[in-house]
Structure 1
Amino acid sequence: MFKYTYKTKGTCSSKIELELDGNIVRNVVFTGGCPGNLAAIPKLVEGMTVEEVVNRIQGIKCGIKNTSCGDQLANACIEAYKASKQA
């Protein structure tokens, strides 16, 4: 299992912690943000591949913001996957 912490940009949540089992997303935890959404998103992406997460939620915006917690999670998954390949 590869553990990764991502500092979010432009969202109410301040960081995302996740684990990768190869390219499978596991144990996503948000710090800060809207409690309901941030409890639901990890349950929805648990067990998905990095590619599935990116395809489904990258580019989603929150209100007038250019990003969202889901979009930031997609970015975190990409970064984590790249980092796991260098570890």
Structure 2
Amino acid sequence: MIYKTKGTCSRAIEFDIDDNGVITHVAFEGGCDGNTKGVAKLVEGLPVDTVIDKLQGIDCRGRGTSCPDQLAKALSAWKAGEAE
């Protein structure tokens, strides 16, 4: 799946989820390289709902969103059947 981010330095998030709702792969396009790689590694192997609960609402520099928040939005879109 690919989710186009809004309001962050990253431009998109690519992710895969297995049949059990567990995240198997996350890669950010753009953004702070070390931070986005760290977030990706931390969430791989976790259930979608757990990651949404932990990351939604995180703000970066007063933007009202962040790369982790955008990942939560991407996963929520996937749950709603709205992700590519």
Question: Partners in 2 of 1:79 and 1:25 — Cα distance?
Answer: 14
What SS class does the counterpart of residue 81 from structure 2 fall into?
A: helix
Q: Give aligned pairs, total.
A: 81
The match for 2:10 is: 13
Q: Is there any run of 5+ residues in structure 1 with no aligned partner, and where?
A: none
Question: Partners in 1 of 2:7 and 2:38 — Cα distance?
Answer: 20
The match for 1:68 is: 66
1:24 is aligned to 2:22 = yes
TM-score (norm 2): 0.91
TM-score (norm 1): 0.88
Q: Is there any run of 5+ residues in structure 2 with no aligned partner, and where?
A: none
What percentage of aligned pairs have identical amino acids? 46
Letter in 1 for 2:12: K
Native 8 Å contact 1:20 1:80 kept in 2 = no
RMSD of the alignment, in Å?
A: 1.2
